[in-house]
Amino acid sequence: MRGADLVVRALARRGVRTIFSLSGNQIMPLYDACIDARIRIVHVRHEAAAVFMADAWSQVTGEVGVAMLTAGPGLSNGVAPLFSALQSESPVLLLSGDSPLSEDGMGSFQEMDQAAITRPLTKLSRRVGSAAELAPSIDEAVTLALAGRPGPVHLALPFDLLNDESGFDALPPAAEKAAAAQPPSEVVQQIASLLAAAQRPVLLLGPSQARQRHRARWEALASALQVPVVPMESPRGLRDPSLGCVSDRIAEADLIVLAGKRLDFTVGFGRKAAFGETARVVAIDPQADMLERAGRLLGERLVARCQGDVQPTVDAIARSAKPGGDRTAWMNAVARAIAVRSLKDAPAAPQGAIGSQALCEAVQRVLDTAPNPILVCDGGEFGQWAQAFCKAPVRIVNGMSGAIGGGICYALAAKIAQPDATVVLLMGDGTAGFHFTEYDTAVRENAAFLGVIGNDLRWNAEHVIQMRSYGPDRLIGCSLSPTARYDEAAQALGGFGAAVQEPQALDGALRAALESGKPACLNVAIDGRPAPAFSQAAAVH
């Protein structure tokens, strides 16, 4: 069989049934092989969209999301979303066509060192060097993407390996899955003792542990150990609006357990302003370099560390847990802080204008009644309003990377992953422009989702920075066009579109968009507020 058939059969053996891709010369043998393997190719309008979609697929399903790109600019166009996948801890397999091995060093069409480009953004990046390596490389890449801290991997596949006969009539046997290493019992006992002695402990989770499919186990563990569990998946970290005023309680904690949560800018690097004067810290992480970082930044405040997969390690700690004091009051205090939605500064929207909060509350009414809702939030300032005031059992945000622009791709892939879901996307007008033509992909793929644009006619995050740092007479490069009709563009691409200017029209427009059964775009004029900031004092008053 051809090398391309080996690759595709190896993917099918690992459960891959959907690939996100944009066609190109060097991957045509893979396209052909997907027909016989009955693997669906979702054909997108830009290579970056394919990687964003693979990221969302992995977040929704827990499986490896697969993106397939051609060589040269095809590969380079898809590089930026790898950073988002890496920071969101999403298991993504990027396959790229490559120039033929037989033409190495000859100036072949689109010849480049692909692995050198993607290596800083992946757990593994390499070029396959022989037909015998094709199937084993797929197995290795998929296994590594899912292992430890999940993340993206990349394989460059030379065209001649794909197009030529491989010399194999069948797939080689898959490698056996290695047994997970057990955490050291003495470290488990040490952490269990620290938890028992703590009065105000808290456990912080990294992005991969914040997924909906893990929620029940973490809630059960929090109840059993009487330890608040805080999932973190936003670049705003402890100031993430969806976490309310949790930073106030974290600053009071006497023991902080980093359960797969990297010590980084999102937690103030563990400095005392974020973690409090007397807090001690425990780090549990699959990566040795993350434990080394914790030790370097925390010094003596790091009282225990354990290298291992997060869930089995924490489960072992729970089994060894000793009875501690009653921490019900502390649990309730953290829960109340997370639930706070009282704004520090809440001026009313101008007469007749639609406020960001009011728009999100209208969308939440849809989510509350929709079957199997999935929420996607993307953007700068408006994206934070969406994260604060909208919720659903499954949520995708633009992640720790802080990158914007993938929301339409995320929503489309989520709908393909779960066709019966009601997928709702909230995004800013700046964000919408990155991949708006993927509405065409959504129409072709019959992937109906509801996209809601909070349109404040500007890049509002940068507008806020310029106003704060330089003043209103120094604004530059933040305005967007008042004549841009995103709703009409969606219609032109085959979807549903409507513009909303008045608060009383919101509910009807949302209902009409859902009932259309098409990929929908509501272009909603909003008043353009900075991201929300909450206050427990305001909540009391």
CATH number (domain holding residue 34) = 3.40.50.970
Under a CB-based contact definition with an 8 Å cutoff, are residues 433 and 521 in contact?
Answer: no
Q: Give the up-direction half-sphere exposure of residue 136: CA atoms within 13 A in the CB hemisphere.
A: 11
Under a CB-based contact definition with an 8 Å cutoff, are residues 144 and 123 in contact?
Answer: yes
293 in the same domain as 149: no
369 in the same domain as 332: no
Structure token digits, residue 227 = 């330890």
516 in the same domain as 476: yes
Does 178 map to a domain? no
User: pLDDT tens across 455-504, in order?
Assistant: 999 988 899 999 999 999 999 999 999 999 999 999 999 999 999 999 99
251 in the same domain as 208: yes
pLDDT surpassing 90 at residue 350: no
Q: Per the structure, how many domains does the chain have?
A: 3
Does 533 map to a domain? no
138 in the same domain as 17: yes
447 in the same domain as 331: no
Confidence category of residue 367, pLDDT binned at 50, 70, 90? very high
Structure token digits, residue 72 = 């040269």
Does 428 map to a domain? yes
- Angle of helix 185-197 relative to helix 310-320, nearest 10 degrees? 60
pLDDT, residue 539, reads 53
Confidence (pTM)? 0.95
Does 482 map to a domain? yes
483 in the same domain as 383: yes
Q: Give the up-direction half-sphere exposure of residue 527: CA atoms within 13 A in the CB hemisphere.
A: 21
455 in the same domain as 365: yes
Does 149 map to a domain? yes
Domain ranges, residue 276: 185-339
pLDDT, residue 175, reads 81
CATH code: domain of residue 222: 3.40.50.1220
Question: Pick from 250, 243, 230: which is nearest to 532 by CA?
Answer: 243
91 in the same domain as 143: yes
157 in the same domain as 124: yes
Helices and strands per DSSP (H, E), number in the chain = 24, 17
User: pLDDT tens across 55-99, in order?
Assistant: 999 999 999 999 999 999 999 999 999 999 999 999 999 999 999
297 in the same domain as 198: yes
381 in the same domain as 308: no
